[in-house]
Amino acid sequence: MNKTFNQKAWYFVIPVFVLVAFNAAVPLMTVVNYSFQETFGSNVFAWEGTRWFKEILHSERFHASLGRQAIFTFIILLIQLPLGIFIALTMPKKGWGVPVCLILMSMPLLIPWNVVGAMWNIFALPDIGFLGNSLNSIGFDYNFTQQSGDAWFTTILMDVWHWTSLVVLLSYAGLNSIQPAYYQAAEIDGASRWDIFRYIELPKMKKVLTLAILLRFMDSFMIYTEPFVLTGGGPGNATNFLSLDLVKMALGQFDLGPAAAMSLIYFLIVLLICWIFYSLMMKDEART
Amino acid sequence: MSLELKEVEKKVGIETHIYSTNLKLEKNTINVLLGSTLAGKTTLMQIMAGLDKPTSGEIWFNGENVTGKEVQKRNCSMVYQQFINYPNFTVFDNIASPLKITGINSDEIKQRVGKVAELLKLSAMLNKKPDELSGGQQQRTALARALVKDSDLILLDEPLANLDFKLREELREELPKLFEDRDCIVVYATTEPLDALMIGGNTATLLEGNVVQYGNTLDVYNKPENLTSAKVFSDPPMNIAEITKSGDKFKLADNNVQWTSSVNIKDGNYKIGIRPHNITTYKEGSNSVEINGKVLISELSGSESLIHFTNGNLNWVSLSNGIQQRNIGEDTKLHMNVDEFLYFDQNNRLVNHG
């Protein structure tokens, strides 16, 4: 068979290459470049090899913020997933309640992140904020700007308020795709509500829940704007999560080399966890 | 054992889904609910099962009024058009699921599941999960779940509709045998007249929420009480034409196709119903009459030929054996088997057959 060679198709691919190069490859390589060198003023660089990587991996500061980050993400997933599924289960399936609930649920997702931070900052201020003031007036010694526990509580509450809706909407979509015949069949079998949840709803929601966990993991693990506006990482270093710490190192102290090394380690951690998680969840699918 | 619906009616809002229905289903029978989509088959089944309550009327089972009794307490099972199984259970656990809830010991469960699995040719797949099976096997699993628990009432809601042709034929042949020596009432809903004929038993023809006729399947097919029942039980659709009768001469109202018959009805105007397979390209039966027509469409379906044609103001459908090619627009001559005509009076009631 004669093949005609025609390279014109490349013209269609080139724009993608250019775009990806500029928004991903070039910035990433710049970071890689920084991570192996010491930077001085007027663009003078000196080769440092893997020194920054070693330093970061052994630095107590990095361990501390990674630990805070891991705990934060763990708590977020632990609260938002069950809560999201529960809310989705209680949402109406037909009638006027459906659009009302969907719109209410989408609201928090539509608010810009820094606005969420600012809103909660004011809301939680111990002297004038509604939440802070109310808590103090009923006898709690609440002050998120001074007490680490309160700062964590407020940050977590803010994130739950902001992002649980995403889990709700995904779970709701998953629940709605279950055919009514499944519920009838279970009813005929005499299955309990808990059985229906365990044996029908949960398995049928598996895919959307995988997606929800992945999205919530990535977002909460890389959270920056909201705690930056709410607590700024404080009091002290109490809510100084990974990306906050990273920005402090890069732009506050102008340690470009270590910051670049830290970015790469950060990036690889996220990538690795997502990959492991996704492979585990999809193991069953691959078998069939 | 019997299941009786007494003046059962179902309304949803201002819509009536089932008009007042009386129906008595006897022990050890297979009963086909035949009707198109939205005829009320599923609603009727859900009322029989207790998944849905009638707006008015009563349901009696074995001489006991079970209206409003929950489905869990009724010992019935149901198979759906969609293949409904527990997604993360193996085939074995799926089939065993109705038994486990009743608390039967595991040896007996094993034995009963094994027996049903063998009957439905699932023995080799007991350790697989539903999504590893073909559609046919998934539906067999659902059927096995329905059969394993010795229900008094087994409801099959278009169980073959989502299967491809070959699997449908295979399972359709097996179905009547599965229920042969079971002590239960089987109800089978379908849109296909052929299903009803192959399954046999009794048939209820349904149209728009009304049970039009109920009786032995062959009786309903051969002697439909009225035109509606005849229409529901005919696929491809029945040909209907106005005729006039005087003496032993019969004539189509809008042209001069004529025949003689010894049918014993008064002179006057009637309607006839002719099933497509009684209009053929070749002569059939001792008394046949020719009809000319212009071909609209000619199509093959397996080893049968469907020829749609016009005669007078009417469109006709004929179904002949073998491959009978006709060109569109061609004038053609076909033969109608007079002995199979159904005669209806002006109120659409059957007055004579043949």
Contact between residue A189 and residue B71 where contact means Cβ atoms under 8 Å apart:
no
Q: Do A188 and B86 touch (CB under 8 A)?
A: no
Residue A38 belongs to some domain of the structure: no
What confidence score (pLDDT) does residue A254 get?
Answer: 77
Residue of B nearest to A287 (CA): B132
Q: Do B77 and A188 touch (CB under 8 A)?
A: yes
Residue A253 belongs to some domain of the structure: yes
Contact between residue B242 and residue B254 where contact means Cβ atoms under 8 Å apart:
yes
Q: Tell me the CATH number at B179.
A: 3.40.50.300
Residues A20-56 as b/e (b if ≥16 CB within 10 A, e otherwise) read: eeeeeeeeeeebeebbbbbbeeeeeeeebeebbbebb
CA neighbor of A114 nearest in space, from A165, A166, A167, A162:
A162
Same domain as B188, residue B127: yes
Q: Which helix (DSSP H) or strand (DSSP E) does residue B268 occupy? A: strand B268-274
Number of domains comprising chain B: 2
Contact between residue B32 and residue B231 where contact means Cβ atoms under 8 Å apart:
no
Is 60 exceeded by the pLDDT of residue A287?
no
The identity of residue B305, as a single letter, is S
Examine the fold and report which residue of B232, B247, B263 is the final residue of a domain before the chain moves on: B232
**For residue B237, cis peptide bond before it (omega within 30 degrees of 0):** no
Contact between residue B215 and residue B222 where contact means Cβ atoms under 8 Å apart:
no
Residue A192 belongs to some domain of the structure: yes
Tokens linked to A239 = 């809510």
Q: Which helix (DSSP H) or strand (DSSP E) does residue A105 occupy? A: helix A97-110
Q: What is the DSSP string of B99-142?
A: HHHHT--HHHHHHHHHHHHHHTT-GGGTTS-GGGS-HHHHHHHH
Q: Do B84 and A188 touch (CB under 8 A)?
A: no
Residue of A nearest to B134 (CA): A288
The interface residues of chain A toward chain B in range 124-183, judged by CB-CB distance below 8 A, are 179, 181-182
Q: Do A200 and B76 touch (CB under 8 A)?
A: no
- Give the residue ranges of chain B where pLDDT is below 50: none
A285 vs A27, higher pLDDT: A27
Which ipTM did the prediction report? 0.77
Residue A18 belongs to some domain of the structure: no
What confidence score (pLDDT) does residue A126 get?
Answer: 86
Same domain as B283, residue B223: no
Backbone angles phi, psi at A207, to 5 degrees: -65, -45
Same domain as B169, residue B205: yes
Q: Do A188 and B78 touch (CB under 8 A)?
A: yes
Same domain as B52, residue B179: yes
- Other CB atoms within 10 Å distance of the CB of residue A194: 8
CA distance from start to end of chain A: 37
What confidence score (pLDDT) does residue A288 get?
Answer: 46
Same domain as B139, residue B284: no
pLDDT in tens, A181-224: 899 888 888 888 998 998 899 988 988 998 899 999 999 999 99
Same domain as B243, residue B188: no
Q: Tell me the CATH number at B348.
A: 2.40.50.140
pLDDT in tens, B343-354: 888 888 888 765
Same domain as B146, residue B210: yes
What confidence score (pLDDT) does residue A68 get?
Answer: 92
Residue of A nearest to B99 (CA): A189
Q: Tell me the CATH number at A143.
A: 1.10.3720.10
Structural domain for B86, as ranges: 2-232
Same domain as B200, residue B262: no
Number of domains comprising chain A: 1
Residue A179 belongs to some domain of the structure: yes
Same domain as B204, residue B72: yes
Return the percentage of chain A with pLDDT > 70, whole number. Answer: 98
Return the percentage of chain A with pLDDT > 90, whole number. Answer: 41
Stretch A168-173: mean pLDDT, rounded?
Answer: 94
Strands B342-344 and B350-353: antiparallel
pLDDT in tens, A81-136: 999 999 999 999 888 999 999 999 999 999 998 999 999 999 998 888 899 889 99
In sequence order, the β-bridge partners of residue B342 are: B273, B353
Tokens linked to A193 = 């509500």
Q: Do B131 and A288 touch (CB under 8 A)?
A: yes
Tokens linked to B236 = 């491809």
pLDDT in tens, A29-82: 888 888 888 887 777 788 888 888 888 888 888 889 999 999 999 999 999 999
Q: Which helix (DSSP H) or strand (DSSP E) does residue B170 occupy? A: helix B165-178
> Nearest Cβ partner of B88 from A190, A191, A203?
A203
User: In Å, how far from its chain's centre is CA A186?
Assistant: 36
Chain B CB within 8 Å of residue A191 CB: yes
**For residue B224, cis peptide bond before it (omega within 30 degrees of 0):** no
What confidence score (pLDDT) does residue A91 get?
Answer: 92
Residue A24 belongs to some domain of the structure: no
> Which residue in B88, B138, B148, B153 has the most chain A C-beta atoms within 10 A of its own C-beta, making it the best mutation to test that interface?
B88
Q: Do B87 and A181 touch (CB under 8 A)?
A: no
Examine the fold and report which residue of B215, B232, B249 is the final residue of a domain before the chain moves on: B232
Same domain as B47, residue B63: yes
Rounded Cα–Cα distance for residues A253 and A231 (Å): 19
Structural domain for A138, as ranges: 51-287
**Does residue A158 sit in helix, strand or coil?**
helix
User: Which of chain B's residues have a Cβ under 8 Å away from the Cβ of A204?
Assistant: 87
Same domain as B252, residue B139: no
Residue A274 belongs to some domain of the structure: yes
What confidence score (pLDDT) does residue A1 get?
Answer: 60
Residue A142 belongs to some domain of the structure: yes
The identity of residue A272, as a single letter, is L
Same domain as B136, residue B281: no
Q: Do A203 and B86 touch (CB under 8 A)?
A: yes
Rounded Cα–Cα distance for residues A134 and A140 (Å): 9
Chain A CB within 8 Å of residue B53 CB: no
Tokens linked to A77 = 């997933």
Rounded Cα–Cα distance for residues B63 and B160 (Å): 32
| B92-to-A286, A287, B112, B113, B149 alpha-carbon distances in Å | 22, 19, 11, 7, 14
What confidence score (pLDDT) does residue A74 get?
Answer: 95
